[in-house]
Amino acid sequence: MAGVLTRAARAFRPAGPPPVLVPEAAAVLGALPTPTVVLDAEDRFRFANPAAELFFQLSAGSLAGMSLRDLLPEDNRVFGLLAQVRAHDAPVADHDLSLESPRLHRYGVAAQGAPLPELPGGVVLTLQDGSTAQMLDRQLNFRGAARGASAMAEMLAHEVKNPLSGIRGAAQLLEQGASEGDRELCLLIQDEADRIRKLVERMDMFSDREIERAEVNIHEVLDHVRRIALSGFAAHLRIVQEYDPSLPPVWGNRDQLVQITLNLVKNAAEAVESDGEILLATSYHHGVRIAVPGSAERVHLPLQVVVRDNGPGIPESVRSTLFEPFVTTKRGGQGLGLALVAKLVADNGGLVECDSRPGRTTFRLSLQQPPRRVEGGATP
């Protein structure tokens, strides 16, 4: 990759300060799916491709007036990498970097720098977020896992629910003439039968059904979920709101969006202490696009919804399988809440990702805008 970037970077033809990227080089760097920036000798941004805009969550225009030192502390390892590139005039790579500051929170980042010969001190820097790199693959796995849970639910519905009704009915009949000790056992059988039935019914939510999507005010959805939480399972917590008031509607199913955010808030509430805090935030990010498997179509997912808590974090051992059915960190948990979230988000054409470390866990939803309408009311 570094060799390709170095050759592409040589297409720069500086014509007085500041250097200008000619269209051919800009097209090459702009088409790369990897976040790529060009830095001058003072680490000022001279170019940022769309993937870099997403990575830094700033537009290219905003980055153009900034230095990388405005985003990261002086002792960050990435500056050591840049110094090595300039000192040796050769590509240098580093892995598992933490890019953390009040404005940037990225972990497990792989960075690669290549010298830019025609810009003294210039460096082409690529940054690959490990969690982002795996996000699409995981999303496809989530959908496959959800389909597996759906098939299991259908099997359980036919093979378990009917016998359960018979077992519960028999336990009720036995209870009528049972001794005190046996009556407790009969009640236990009934309770367990009810618990298994509820589990089967919950798994039935994974079944594939057509959903109707429309324009949804996500802030109304979040306010609704917040009221439910504060009147029940999160009554002991603070729920803070940071909304982008200019956010356009989400294209989705309102009931499912309520279910998604309710599950995430409930998950957060169960993770934090009595003095904990949950943040609900929304924002708009240009350039967030994903390729649809099997086609040339790219889906725009600019609407971001964040549910963040200040709990102890998710154990690293389960992070990679967090959204799969029956994976849980809770004693007595069924491991279906986050699997259902992943399934419903995918049904609504979006993505869900999780970033967790001690003291902060963030679930981020990336959702679609309503389809653009053309004359006559049809969508293109």
* Inter-CA distances, 326 with 130, 132, 262, Å: 25, 24, 19
Q: CA 275, CA 237: separation in Å to the nearest integer? A: 6
Whose CA is closest to 75, among 58, 93, 56, 97? 97
- At 146 the pLDDT is 57
Is residue 1 pLDDT above 70, yes or no? no
- At 344 the pLDDT is 86
The mean-pLDDT minimum among 90-99, 165-174, 353-362 falls in: 90-99
- At 192 the pLDDT is 81
pLDDT digits (tens, 9 = 90+) for 172-216: 888 888 888 788 888 888 888 887 777 666 555 556 667 889 999
Whose CA is closest to 352, among 272, 259, 220, 269? 259
Is residue 375 pLDDT above 70, yes or no? no
Q: CA 105, CA 356: separation in Å to the nearest integer? A: 11
pLDDT digits (tens, 9 = 90+) for 271-312: 898 788 999 999 987 655 565 444 445 577 889 999 999 999
Average pLDDT value over all residues in the chain: 78
- At 132 the pLDDT is 47
Q: Would you place residue 13 in the very low, low, confident or very high pLDDT band (cuts 50, 70, 90)? A: very low
| pTM more than 0.85 | no
